[in-house]
Structures are given as C-alpha cells and as structure tokens.
Amino acid sequence: MGKLWGGRFSKTTDEMINEFQASIQFDKRMYQEDIAGSIAHATMLAKCGIIPESDTKAIIDGLQGILADIEAGNFSFDVALEDIHMNIEKRLTDRIGEAGGRLHTARSRNDQVALDTHMYVRKETANIAKLVLDMEKALVEVAEKYSDAIMPGYTHLQRAQPILFAHHMLAYFSMLNRDFSRLKGVYERADIMPLGAGALAGTTFPIDRQLVAEQLNFGAVYNNSLDAVSDRDYILEFLSFASIMMMHLSRISEEIILWCSREFSFIELDDAHCTGSSMMPQKKNPDVSELVRGKTGRVIGHLMAMLTTAKGLPLAYNKDLQEDKEGLFDTIDTVKFSLSVYSAMIRAMRVNQELMLKAVREDFSNATDLADYLVKKGLPFRQAHEVSGKSVHYCIEQKKWLMDLTLEEFKQFSPLFEEDILEEIKPETCVANRNSFGGTSYQQVELQIKTAKEIMKNQQAIVDEYDKKIKL
C-alpha cells in the first residue's frame, strides 16, 4: 500500500521506521475530533467554491459512515498509515473514490493534528472541570457534616494549635478552586482554531478560517500560521495544571494515610476504598491515597518531558511534537481517574471526632492561647510567650497538661492569671476565639462554607457553558 505522501519517494519506508514513527496506537482516540474537523473543513471548501458541493456531500456522508464504523468496532487501524488522519482519509478515499482525495485541499497534517489536539484538550478540559467541581463539593459536604469537629493543627508535623476539621478540609477546597482557575486558562488557550495555517505558511486557496471556527465552536483563530502549527503552550499549561492539582491531591493523600493509621486513628476509610493484605489478616490499606500520591510523580514527569521536548525546537513543525500526545493522554486519564475515586472516598470516610478532640486535650496546642490571655491582661507578648513556655515546661516535669493546672499553679508564673484561665484554654474556646477573617473559628468556617458554595455555583455555570461549546 502506497503512502499518501509517497510521490516524491523512490523507495518504500522501512517497516521498522513505519512502526517507530507511527502514532496511531495512541492518537486513534482523537477520531471524533478528526472527523468533526474534516467535516467542517469540507463544508468550508464547498462554500468557498474550492471543491464541488457534490464532493462535500460525499465526503460528509463517507466520514459519518466511518465514524459509525469506528464506534461499532468495525474499523481496523493500519500502523503503516501512521496516524488517525491518514487512516481515516485512506478509508474515505476507498469508500467514495476521487472525491475523498479532495478533502485534504488547503490543509496539511500539521494544522490538522493541531486542530484535533486543540479540540481534544478543550473537550477533556471541560470534562475535568466537572470532576474538579465534584471534588470541591465532596470537601464542602464533609466540612459541613463535621462542622464542629476539633482536631490538632500541625506545623512541622508537630501539634501546633486547635483547629476545626472543616477548616482543614476547606484549605483543600481553596487549592482546588485555584486549580479550577488554572483549568479555565487551559480551556481559553485550547479554544483557538489552527486549521488553515497549512504546513506553516497558510495556503494559496481562498479559504474562510472563521467559518471553520464557527462550525467547531472555537472562540478565536490563530493569527500567525507559524505559531498555529508549532504552539503547544496549551498542552504545557494543561500538564502544569495537572501537576499542581495532583500535587494537591498528593498532599491530602499523605494526610489521609497518616490519619487512618493506628497511630492517629483520626479517620476511617470505607472498606470499598481500601484493600487488605495477602499475609496479614488485620490490615486495611489506604491504597487509593497511596496510588494517587504515586501517580503524582508520573504526571509531573510528563510535564518535565514536554518542557524538555519543546525547549529546543525551531519553527515551525518538527516530528518531535508527536511526543506531546502520549504524556498528555496518560495525564488526562490519570487526572480523571484520581479525581473520580477521591471524591467518592472523601464522601464515604468516617471522622473520629472524639479521638481528635482527645488528642487536642492531651497536648500543649493551647499554649499560644495561654500567652494571648496574658497579652489581653496587659503583658507584652514576648514576656507572655516566656510565661507560657515556662508553664509548659512545668507541666512536662509534673506530667500534666495545661488544663490540669490549678489557679495557684498558674499564679506561680504570673499574677495576671485569674479563674477564667481554664475556660480560655479549652479547645472549644481556642477555636472560637480565632475569629479573624479566614481563621478557624466556627463563625469564620461557616462563612468559608457559604463562600465556597457561591464559588461552586459560578463554576457550575462555567461547566455548563463548556458543555454547550464542546458539543459538535
């Protein structure tokens, strides 16, 4: 079988080279985008008088038949034809004859693959936006469910100050909210139409690029043909978004792994989201969190690979750019799977409020509140800090907690202590008093939840709009 580009060559391509340069094994997933782009291109060629209307009708009918064959599993992809574009074009020509050969008028595989990839990234960005939103909803639902649960807050993985568990969950909501914003940027850069750039310099035919963009619901058209075929910024942005978002999931994974260990026992994961041991009957392993933590490195690796591939490429198209897809596709699959399983796991986990509160009562995370108490009585903070530190040292020596001390013991360290000190250093009071904007108080967390719901309402409108735009 001759190559569709074989006219200049006197020898057939070595079979090993065919296999080496073929991308059909992975780019065949873009068949819907390739066919939709070709239908739009053929429609434009006819409207501009470049090919006859009858040829366009035959092309569209043929392409729709090929789409049905692929979706029914009745299409065999040929590695000798290299990629999804040539596989479809060859089948089209076999099916409708000479008219199929006119489809490639005024375009190159360079702008064709750019179009397919833009459309695919745009579609998957819209799909992932839904999953990010669902993960945000899961975090807010759990925050509301356990809105009064108090836990130790940590710095350096050492107990620092009492916080609300809901406050902790909402910190991850904030991270995902930023991820959603980054994803909007990816969509915007993917929503630019490259077809009509040709191989690199445009075309001599009187095409209407705006008409193609309108058919495919693109918001903009590349205004430089060199940039159109060589730009992979939107892929880099997607991989960057994915790497940062997976890093956020990896951070919560690390905490969940710790929290469901016997040493913490702050949470218990649902059996449906854990596995056991083939040897140790008692084990309940947090595999979802461990896998997400592990897959984060893989996604970051794809970003580094693409940056390295792109950094030394001259304009315009180079075959190196074929390397953009395997890492991109794997990242899309990984992100979608990770978000889906995580949302379900977060919703199903059980929080051990009693044990978390016990942990806060049996530590010195209220030491800052002890110092703040003295500051409110007029003592400079540095002196109050020293008094609090000495009180903690005394407790360690006496094998007590601050809540165990009597008023007489407190007065050893400062005459400013009064009977209300024990109330002021209770975990519930410590939490309630941190009422600065964005703090962990009950009031502030309630406000954060309300704000989160407003944010998600706006995000839902964006997701709905994306859905309309990606339907072809």
Residues 6+ apart with CB under 8 A from 150: 162, 163, 164, 165, 353, 356, 357, 360, 427, 428, 431
Among the listed residues 54, 181, 265, 277, the single catalytic one is 277
Measured CA to CA, the distance from residue 418 to residue 411 in angstroms comes to 8
The CA radius of gyration of the chain, in Å to the nearest whole number, is 30
Measured CA to CA, the distance from residue 472 to residue 206 in angstroms comes to 25
Residues 6+ apart with CB under 8 A from 82: 18, 21, 22, 23, 24
Positive or negative torsion for Cα 214, 215, 219, 222 = negative
277 tagged catalytic: yes
Among the listed residues 76, 156, 278, 436, the single catalytic one is 156
Q: Residue 276 to residues 279, 322, 345: CA-CA distances in angstroms? A: 9, 41, 16
Q: For strands 158-164 and 150-155, give the pairing.
A: antiparallel
What residue has token string 């060559």? 9
275: left (phi over 0), alpha (psi -120 to 50) or beta: beta
Measured CA to CA, the distance from residue 108 to residue 125 in angstroms comes to 26
156 tagged catalytic: yes
Residue 130: closest CA among 339, 292, 332: 339
Count other Cβ atoms within 10 Å, centred on residue 341: 16
Contacts 24+ apart (CB under 8 A), 154-159: 159/359, 159/360, 159/363, 159/364, 159/365
Q: Please give the positions annotated as active site.
A: 156, 277
